[in-house]
């Protein structure tokens, strides 16, 4: 399952957002370090479900499907709030930073209403965004650069081993693999001699990790209490188009859970349980979503994952009915990367299925495809393997 790290300064609103998007009650309070250990929950991204093509309702094993919209689960890791100096052990220090090592991508939630001077380098939104990224970069750099000269001299003596394998010895702790390092080395320029790498080179390498391997996206919270002009100013300095309201997300989630509305999307209808007070609050929120530059978090997360090139694939056993062995229709929806193949899908289902791959079937065209078939978003695929 795709893992999303949710980070930010204390009081950025992470706990409120986490509770809203995972339906998990966590402590929410307006003081630093409300979260003292990582919260882990499940949220979703949305896409059109193939069930509409076969005119039958799917049976998701995980997630859900509402009116032809598939909600594909992703794991959310709510990392406790970071403060300046966390990379040196201040606050909760490395205990917090260690929690992002498994994340596939990082969302840096910042307070877009922190103050009016959004250009300030020492306070406000700009400072919040830069502080968090700098602390993570420093943490990575410190771990890699420790005893670097001794390490690099030894590794440079081995002229047979690939440089990606050498670097992996230092960065595997961040959840990287050789393929990730190969990507970075092709995107940026570094000396083939590790001893020639300076501290600045390693800091740049860490920046590449947050660009190409564990990309970080800045998302402004509390957009419900700032005007569009402020949003534009923040966007000009920080270059983000993502603004949300964790408070609104929580209100909608609670209204849906308590039965005041019939769905948790903005096209909801009121039930007979909703009173005038609930309707008044929710109608104002609806208007804000129309007139302000504010988005639902599910839409933001879906857009981010789409931009990163992830695709949704549906593996099935029966290519005609699109079911598994128990007759469940489209039970699974896997997130893979654009460029992944039928063989990658087989390994994703189970290692033995990948090792014993024979062929696959594109269930839409009924065409037999090989292990190198490049998967497309929303493909429905049958894997044939002699695995028992």
Give the pLDDT mean for 119-125: 51
CATH number of this structure's domain 3-38+79-136+216-303, picked from the four choices 2.30.30, 3.40.1350, 3.40.50, 2.160.20: 3.40.50
Q: What is the pLDDT of residue 256?
A: 92
Domain boundaries, the chain: 3-38+79-136+216-303, 310-385
Give the pLDDT mean for 120-139: 71
What single DSSP character describes residue 244?
-
Domain pair 3-38+79-136+216-303 / 310-385, same fold: no
Give the pLDDT mean for 366-383: 96
Average pLDDT of the chain is 87
Q: What is the pLDDT of residue 371?
A: 95
Give the pLDDT mean for 260-278: 90
Q: How does residue 310 score in pLDDT terms, banded at 50, 70 and 90? A: very high
Third-level CATH fold of 310-385? Ubiquitin-like (UB roll) (3.10.20)
pLDDT reading at 181 higher than 90: yes
90-104: per-residue pLDDT in tens? 544 455 566 777 889
Q: What is the pLDDT of residue 33?
A: 41
Residues facing residue 42 across a β-bridge: 75
Helix, strand, coil percent content, the chain, rounded in steps of 5? 40, 20, 40
pLDDT reading at 264 higher than 80: yes
**Backbone phi, psi, residue 4, to 5°:** -115, 120
Q: What is the DSSP string of 94-150?
A: HHHHGGGTT-SEEEEEEETTS-S-TT-SSSHHHHHHHHHHHHHHHHHHHHHHTTHHH
Number of H helices, E strands in the chain: 14, 11
* pTM higher than the cut 0.85: no
Q: How does residue 350 score in pLDDT terms, banded at 50, 70 and 90? A: very high
């Amino acid at each position: 399952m795709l893992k999303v790290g949710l980070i930010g300064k204390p009081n950025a609103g992470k706990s409120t957002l986490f509770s809203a998007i995972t339906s998990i009650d966590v402590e929410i309070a307006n003081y630093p370090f409300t979260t003292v250990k990582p919260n882990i929950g499940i949220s979703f991204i949305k896409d059109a479900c193939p069930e509409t093509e076969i005119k039958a309702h799917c049976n998701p094993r995980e997630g859900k499907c509402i009116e032809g919209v598939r909600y594909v689960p992703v794991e959310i890791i709510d990392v406790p709030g970071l403060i300046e100096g966390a990379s040196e052990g201040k606050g909760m220090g490395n205990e917090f930073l260690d929690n992002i090592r498994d994340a596939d991508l990082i969302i840096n939630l910042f307070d877009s209403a922190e103050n009016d001077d959004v250009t300030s380098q020492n306070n406000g939104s700009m400072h919040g965004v830069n502080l968090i990224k700098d602390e993570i970069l420093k943490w990575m750099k410190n771990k890699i650069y420790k005893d670097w000269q001794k390490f690099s001299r030894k590794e440079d003596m081995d002229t047979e081993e690939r440089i990606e394998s050498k670097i992996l010895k230092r960065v595997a702790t961040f959840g990287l693999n050789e393929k990730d390092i190969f990507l970075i080395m092709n995107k940026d320029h570094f000396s083939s001699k590790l001893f020639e790498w300076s501290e600045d080179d390693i800091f740049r390498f860490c920046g590449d990790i947050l660009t190409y391997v564990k990309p970080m996206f800045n998302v402004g919270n509390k957009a419900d209490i700032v005007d569009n002009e402020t949003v534009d100013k923040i966007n000009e300095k920080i270059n983000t188009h993502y603004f949300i309201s964790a408070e609104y997300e929580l209100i909608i989630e609670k209204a849906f859970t308590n039965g005041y509305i019939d769905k948790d999307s903005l096209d909801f209808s009121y039930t007979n349980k909703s009173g005038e007070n609930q309707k008044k609050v929710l109608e104002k929120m609806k208007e804000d979503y129309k007139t302000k530059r504010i988005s639902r978090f599910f839409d933001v997360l879906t857009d981010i994952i789409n931009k990163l090139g992830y695709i949704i694939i549906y593996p099935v056993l029966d290519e005609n009915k699109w079911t598994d062995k128990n007759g469940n229709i489209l039970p699974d929806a896997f997130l893979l990367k654009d460029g992944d193949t039928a063989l990658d899908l087989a390994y994703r289902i189970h290692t033995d299925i990948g090792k014993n791959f024979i062929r696959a079937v594109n269930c839409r065209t009924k065409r037999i495809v090989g292990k190198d078939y490049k998967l497309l978003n929303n493909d429905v695929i049958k894997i044939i393997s002699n695995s028992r």
